[in-house]
C-alpha cells in the first residue's frame, strides 16, 4: 500500500456509490413520510401500501412483460446475428453489423422520438407491445456484444467434429453449440432484462396510457406522501436484483467448472 491517499479515495468512492442504496431500506421501514434523520420507528405500512396499489401492480406487471419479452426477443436475434457474424463472411457484413449496433451510441431520446413518429405515422396504437419493440431495438446491440464473445470463444472444430460424427447442422447446434454458449445466452438475457426493466425514455414515449415501473415511479415523485412507498418499492427491486445476480453468478461459475475453463471474472 504505497498510496494511502488512493486507498482513502477508493473508500470514499465506494461509500458515495453505495450509501444511497443502504438508505433505501432504512427509510422504507421508517415510520414517517419525511425522508430525514432521526428515524421515527419501525413500520411495514409502506410495503402494505405498495401491495395495495393497483396502478403500481399494473406497472410492475407491464414492466415484467416488457422486460421478459424484450430480453427473449433481443437474445434470440442476438444469437442469430452473433453466429452469422462469427461464422460466416458475406458482402456488407461490416455495414450490417454496424447498423445493428448503432442504437448503442444513438441518444435514446432520438430513438424514442423517431420510433414514436414512425409508429404514429403507420397508425400503430401505442401499448405495451410498442414499448417491447423499442426495447428490443436498444437491447439487441448489448445482446450481440455479449453473444459475439461467447461464439468467438467457441472452437469451430467442436461443431465440425459433431457434424463429422453424423449429426445434422441443427442437432449439432442443439447438442454442442447451444450448451457451450449458454452462459453467454444467460448473460445476454439478464443484461437485456435489466436494461429494459429500468428504461425510462422509450417507455415514456411509446407506452401510451400504460404505466411501466420507471414511468410510474417518476409520476409519483411529485407527491411527497408517496415517497416512502417508492422507497419500499426500491428496496424490493434491490433485493430482487441481488437475488437475480446471485443466481446468474452461480450458473456462470457452474458452467465454467463444467467446461473446465478458467474464471476470467463475472458479475460479482
Partner 1 sequence: MTNRPTMIEFQEVHKYYGDYHALRGITASIRAGEFFSLLGPSGCGKTTLLRTIAGFEDISSGAVMIDGKHMEHVPANQRPTNMVFQSYAIFPHLTVEQNVGFGLRRAAGTPAEKARRVEEALEMVGLKGYGRRAAHALSGGQRQRVALARALILKPKVLLLDEPLSALDKKMREQMQVELIKLQRQVGITFVLVTHDQEEALVMSDRIAVMFEGEILQLADPETLYRRPNSRRVAEFIGVMNFLPASVLGESGGHVQLEVAGLGRVDIEAAQGSGRATDGTVSVGFRPETLTILYEGQTAMDRETPGTVDEVVYYGDMTYYDVRLDGVDRVVRISMRNVFGRPVLDIGTRTRVAWSAGALVLFR
Grid coordinates of 261: 475453463
First to last CA, the chain: 24
Q: Please give the DSSP secondary-structure letter assigned to residue 225.
A: G
> What is the x/- site pattern for partner 1, positions 113-152, by CB under 8 A?
----------------------------------------
Of 98-106, 111-119, 158-166, 203-211, the segment contacting partner 1 by CB under 8 A is 158-166
**Nearest to partner 1 of 178, 243 (CB atom):** 178
Beta carbon of residue 88, minimum distance to partner 1 (angstroms, whole number):
14
Pick between residue 55 and residue 259 the one whose CB is nearest to partner 1: 259
What nine digits make up the cell of 265? 471474472
Q: Does 264 bind partner 1 (CB under 8 A)?
A: no
* 160 sits near partner 1 (criterion: CB under 8 A): yes
Q: On the CB side of 257, how many CA atoms lie within 13 Å of its CA? A: 6
Q: Given the complex with partner 1, which of 109 and 158 has the nearer CB atom?
A: 158
User: Which residue matches cell numbers 406487471?
Assistant: 61
Alpha helices in 88-225, H assignment, sequence order:
93-101, 108-121, 128-152, 156-164, 169-172, 178-197, 201-206, 213-220
At residue 143, what are phi and psi to the nearest 5 degrees?
-60, -45
Stretch that binds partner 1, among 38-46, 206-214, 227-235, 253-261 (CB under 8 A): 253-261
161-190: contacts with partner 1 (CB under 8 A): 161-168, 176, 179-180
- Gap between the Cα atoms of 244 and 241, Å rounded: 5
Q: Residues in the site for partner 1, rule: CB under 8 A?
A: 155, 157-158, 160-168, 176, 179-180, 258-261
Amino acid at each position: 500500500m504505497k498510496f494511502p491517499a488512493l486507498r482513502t479515495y477508493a473508500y470514499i468512492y465506494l461509500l458515495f456509490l453505495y450509501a444511497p442504496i443502504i438508505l433505501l431500506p432504512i427509510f422504507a421501514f421508517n415510520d414517517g413520510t419525511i425522508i430525514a434523520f432521526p428515524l421515527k420507528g419501525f413500520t411495514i405500512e409502506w410495503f402494505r401500501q405498495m401491495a395495495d396499489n393497483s396502478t403500481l401492480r399494473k406497472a410492475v406487471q407491464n414492466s415484467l412483460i416488457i422486460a421478459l419479452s424484450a430480453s427473449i426477443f433481443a437474445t434470440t436475434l442476438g444469437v442469430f446475428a452473433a453466429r452469422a457474424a462469427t461464422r460466416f463472411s458475406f458482402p456488407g457484413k461490416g455495414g450490417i453489423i454496424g447498423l445493428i449496433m448503432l442504437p448503442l451510441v444513438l441518444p435514446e431520446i432520438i430513438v424514442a422520438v423517431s420510433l414514436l413518429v414512425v409508429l404514429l405515422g403507420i397508425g400503430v396504437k401505442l401499448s405495451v407491445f410498442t414499448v417491447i419493440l423499442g426495447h428490443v431495438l436498444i437491447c439487441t446491440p448489448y445482446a450481440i456484444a455479449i453473444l459475439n464473445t461467447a461464439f468467438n470463444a467457441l472452437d469451430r472444430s467442436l461443431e465440425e467434429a459433431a457434424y463429422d460424427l453424423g449429426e445434422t447442422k441443427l442437432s449439432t447446434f442443439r447438442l454442442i453449440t447451444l450448451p457451450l454458449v449458454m452462459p453467454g445466452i444467460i448473460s445476454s438475457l439478464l443484461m437485456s432484462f435489466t436494461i429494459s426493466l429500468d428504461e425510462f425514455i422509450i417507455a415514456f414515449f411509446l407506452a401510451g396510457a400504460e404505466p411501466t415501473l420507471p414511468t410510474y415511479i417518476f409520476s409519483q415523485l411529485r407527491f411527497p406522501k408517496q415517497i416512502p412507498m417508492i422507497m419500499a418499492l426500491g428496496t424490493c427491486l434491490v433485493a430482487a436484483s441481488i437475488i437475480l445476480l446471485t443466481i446468474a453468478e452461480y450458473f456462470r461459475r457452474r458452467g465454467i467448472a463444467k467446461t473446465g475453463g478458467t474464471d476470467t471474472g463475472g458479475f460479482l
